[in-house]
Amino acid sequence: MKLSAPIFQLKRRAKLMARNNSVPLNEALNQIARDEGFATWSLLSASVSSEPLSKTILSRLEAGDLLLLAGRPGHGKTRLGLKLLIDAARDNHNALLFTLEFTEQQARKHLRAADPDDGNFSDDIQIFTSDQISADYIIRHMSGLEPGAVAIIDYLQLLDQQRSKPLLSEQVQTLGEFAQRTGVILGFISQIDRSFEVQGKRLPDIGDVRLPNFVDLGLFRKACFLHNGEAQLQEVA
């Protein structure tokens, strides 16, 4: 069953209901769940979690999230990030792609390929391909957007490639503070170190993220790891 809004918006609606009606939050959550066709909030959450991640990733995120999308080349991390943008545009949220990897023409081609419904929602996504993309650049272009706006940064390890840009760790911290303050959602496509492929693990984890320059990965609130057609979303401890 498709929700009327991403789960973070439903949670926000429940908090407002609890405050305005002076009722416990769990009661408000259950009322929102009933409005969505579920008996309880726990059943609504379980329903979302049981769906394929490619169909529900937006619903599993919350305002202010910093999301890491990580995998080896060719395992779907970019496609999942673009799908997140398309879902955001479909739900009438601002959707932005900041890419240091693609030209605008290449990005448009990949976005259209990731939009199987051919709803032209990919055309609503703003694309930025400037070599100047950095935390300050992203904040400048996202300032004033409503909470729930979604941006994908392609990709993490290129943000500080130019020596004139701040350290990667500083940029991620700055963007995390901006997301928390404004309620936007920022997803970072990330490389996984090639050593993962000889370790025999089913999926990479936070320890496999390729970091030529240091960044505190604890700054991310959620991480999605992909490999061989499998994707797993998890909280970052």
For helices 77-90 and 104-113, the axis angle rounded to 10 degrees is 80
Residue 141: inside a domain: yes
* Per-residue tokens: 57: 């990733």
Q: Which domain holds residue 140?
A: 53-235
Structure tokens at 14: 């429940």
Q: Which two tokens stand for residue 174?
A: 């700055």
- Phi-psi category of 200—alpha, beta or left, where left has phi over 0 and alpha has psi -120 to 50? left
Residue 33 lies in a domain: yes
Task: Evaluate whether residue 226 is within a structural domain.
Answer: yes
Q: Are residues 201 and 189 in the same domain?
A: yes
| 184 and 69 both lie in a single domain | yes
Residues 30 and 125 in one domain: no
Could you tell me if 57 and 26 lie in one domain?
no
In this structure, the answer to whether residues 121 and 28 fall within a common structural domain is no
Q: What residues contact 110, with CB distance under 8 A and at least 6 apart?
A: 78, 79, 82, 102
Interval 198-225: pLDDT, tens: 998 999 999 999 999 999 999 999 999 9
- What one-letter code names the amino acid at 5? A
- pLDDT class of 146 with cuts at 50, 70, 90: very high
Same domain as 92, residue 37: no
CATH code: domain of residue 202: 3.40.50.300
Verify cis geometry, omega within 30 degrees of 0, for the bond prior to 155. Answer: yes
SS3 25: helix
* Total number of domains constituting the chain: 2
Does residue 147 share a domain with residue 37? no
Specify whether 160 is located in the same domain as 201: yes
Residues 77 and 113 placed together within one structural domain of the fold: yes
Predicted TM-score of the model (pTM): 0.83
Q: Are residues 169 and 95 in the same domain?
A: yes
Question: Would you state the pLDDT for residue 49?
Answer: 67
Q: How far is CA 22 from CA 18, 19, 31, 132, 207, in A?
A: 5, 5, 14, 48, 44
Interval 9-30: pLDDT, tens: 788 899 999 999 999 999 999 9
Shared domain for 132 and 196, answered yes or no, is yes
Task: State the virtual CA torsion across 166, 172, 173, 175 in degrees, nearest 10.
Answer: 100
Question: Is 67 found in the same domain as 16?
Answer: no
More confident residue, 3 or 172: 172
Could you identify the residue written with the tokens 């050593």?
A: 195
For residue 232, what are the β-bridge partners? 225
